Chain A
Amino acid sequence: KAGVTQTPRYLIKTRGQQVTLSCSPISGHRSVSWYQQTPGQGLQFLFEYFSETQRNKGNFPGRFSGRQFSNSRSEMNVSTLELGDSALYLCASSFRTQPEEGYTFGSGTRLTVV
């Protein structure tokens, strides 16, 4: 079966621009979470969505936002990009929130802000 699909894989943006990243979960999965991975901060939780509702939000500024659609696909948006937003953004999905079975991660979107 198809895994978690994140698009695009690579992205280069200029400071001040905004960006939208997309995540298509595994078919049947209704929970989607987003993480930011940087060499300095490691893996940091961004958001968690279940059935189009944001269940939890990490400690990130309001420039970071997300949403989930009725087909469980999710997008995250970063406005007014800063150099420090350069990171690998990972999406993970599962059947339900608080899964015992763990999460399936996508390959990520590598965002570079110049």
Chain B
Amino acid sequence: AQSVAQPEDQVNVAEGNPLTVKCTYSVSGNPYLFWYVQYPNRGLQFLLKYITGDNLVKGSYGFEAEFNKSQTSFHLKKPSALVSDSALYFCAVRDVSSNTGKLIFGQGTTLQVKP
């Protein structure tokens, strides 16, 4: 069965410092991987995706993520955090071999960036 794990409920980082939000996944085939961000009382906003190719993926607002097949991980990173990055972050996976667009989401990680 497909699954996604975000091991940290909350990540705290000081403004200007690098941030990492962790994600590991499990699928039977090859994965499509996504990161979304959610601000209070809003829907999910797409940040970036990994489909194939380069393991380092660059996305919106300076975020990037590294796909590591051997560790089945897709950690979200940003070199310098902003207070405005504070939000709820979700990692999601879809099995490429499945005939559905269904996404499996992790439980979410709250990112708190302090000035």
Binding site for B on A (CB under 8 A): 4, 6, 31, 33, 35, 42-43, 45, 48, 50, 55-56, 58, 90, 92, 94, 97-108, 110
Is B34 interfacial (CB-CB < 8 Å)?
Answer: yes
Q: Binary interface profile of B, 72-115, with partner A (CB < 8 Å = 1, else 0)?
A: 00000000000000000010101000111111111110000000
Chain A residues near B101 (CB-CB < 8 A): 31, 33, 48, 50, 55-56, 94, 97-99, 103
Q: Which has the most chain A C-beta neighbours within 10 Å: B99, B101, B107, B108?
A: B101
CA distance A112 to B99 in the complex (A): 33
**Residues in chain A near residue B105, CB distance under 8 A:** 35, 42-43
Counting CB contacts under 8 A, is B14 at the interface?
no
Choose among A102, A105, A107 the residue with the greatest number of B CB atoms under 10 Å from its CB: A102
Q: Could you name 29 residue pairs across A and B whose Cβ atoms are closer than 8 Å?
A: A4-B43, A31-B101, A33-B101, A35-B105, A42-B107, A42-B108, A43-B108, A45-B102, A45-B103, A48-B100, A48-B101, A48-B102, A55-B99, A56-B102, A58-B102, A90-B44, A94-B101, A97-B101, A98-B94, A98-B98, A98-B100, A100-B49, A102-B34, A102-B49, A105-B36, A105-B44, A105-B45, A106-B43, A108-B42
Count of inter-chain pairs, beta carbons less than 8 A: 65
Which residues on the A side are within 8 Å of B45 (C-beta)? 105
Docked complex Cα distance between A73 and B43 (Å)? 18
Q: How far does the Cβ of A100 sit from chain B's closest Cβ, in whole Å?
A: 5
- Cα A29 to Cα B85 in complex, Å, equals 29
Chain A residues with Cβ below 8 Å from B104 are 45
